[in-house]
Structure 1
């Protein structure tokens, strides 16, 4: 049974989502929290498969909570459910570490479909063996840098840069196929679970940050080939 931590300050809405998910075929176990601080406390006490969280909450907001979660749980599935629908809000949600941003209102069946797809995506990223063209190393060399995907860490000489969940996933995809072009849709589908406009815009932001992290070595390039994809070379 899939275990969900639902972090939502609206008690009525939280009850509707909890009861709807628990009545779904196959069933969910849903634990609730009313703010980000309580969410972090319950996450520290138990194991969950998915975090579903509102953004605007008292005590500790969803963005701050998710940023803290990502430092400790880089591969945990996280969904934002929010009434904030502006492009900047969606981009901020993805940038903080969410895997999916679902705008309110929505049907419980819609949330169920997204959860199932996200769980499959996460499981596939763990159990799928690398192909013969993919590296099985836990350390990648990028020019004079060393990249440790398991630790979400990028090192240059004595300097270390901690990577967010999505930064880590994107860089690992590019490293596995260094010198080759990885399509935007492939990156978006693997990292965001969708290839919509907002996630595409967010990808450009992440690529800019990765270029900055790798800027100490002028030989390293992350090229965006319009209509084709992204290529890492050193």
Structure 2
């Protein structure tokens, strides 16, 4: 399996050039053109490394890194920036970044930084992500969007599957509401918020066969998928 890289760069030409350079090194690259698109992509797939341009529309690289760190504390983040000021680098590290690359940079420097970051976190690209999740007496197949129970089976829609996958990742922890909205819809306004409530209600119904499994509201914050053990 190739190492997968999420590249977020709003300069289309530069984005394609960097993506091609990374692909020539044997990496699998997903290119996003802004921070909101990047965060959605991050939550829809599994990436070994993130490369974020700092200055992007809708959600800049620092904001994107902070959102990513709320759901994944370990994935390496490399910032790309036209600025070399110390204050910007400090802000990048505070946002959760691991390294900084100042534009313009050479193909060799990009190659070195990427290899160093993947090595630093000891990424095993052969390791398979867990696709079957046990939720009490349920089994959730994340690949096929299938939720099964001895007396129940349900094929989830894409959005139902995305929301349940995030709840599973935060099992028995609080999942902030805005993180779900930005990850699934790319925005967190009132209307998509109402849609999220509808999907949560549906998921509660699907999980109602097991009293030890529940999705709880955490007032003013978000949701918690609670699995109680006897």
- 1:44 and 2:46 equivalent? no
Structure 1 residue ranges without an equivalent (≥5): 125-150, 152-234
Find the counterpart in structure 1 of residue 16 from structure 2. Answer: 15
3-state SS of paired residue (1:106): coil
Shift in Å, 1:103: 0.7
**CA distance in structure 1 between the aligned counterparts of 2:7 and 2:108, rounded to whole angstroms:** 16
Describe how 1:97-176 pairs up with structure 2 within 5 A.
97-123=96-122
Find the counterpart in structure 2 of residue 61 from structure 1. Answer: 60
Structure 2 residue ranges without an equivalent (≥5): 124-169, 171-230
Shift in Å, 1:53: 0.6
Q: Once superposed, what is the RMSD of the aligned Cα atoms?
A: 1.7
3-state SS of paired residue (1:123): coil
Aligned positions, number: 124
Shift in Å, 1:120: 1.0
The two structures have a TM-score, normalised by structure 2, of 0.52
3-state SS of paired residue (2:122): helix
The two structures have a TM-score, normalised by structure 1, of 0.51
Find the counterpart in structure 2 of residue 79 from structure 1. Answer: 78
Shift in Å, 1:23: 1.1
Shift in Å, 1:118: 1.0
**CA distance in structure 1 between the aligned counterparts of 2:35 and 2:20, rounded to whole angstroms:** 21
Find the counterpart in structure 2 of residue 32 from structure 1. Answer: 31
3-state SS of paired residue (2:90): helix
Find the counterpart in structure 1 of residue 202 from structure 2. Answer: none
Shift in Å, 1:21: 1.2
**CA distance in structure 1 between the aligned counterparts of 2:111 and 2:77, rounded to whole angstroms:** 13
> Which contiguous aligned blocks of 4+ residues in structure 1 show a shift greater than 4 angstroms?
none
3-state SS of paired residue (1:90): helix
3-state SS of paired residue (1:109): helix
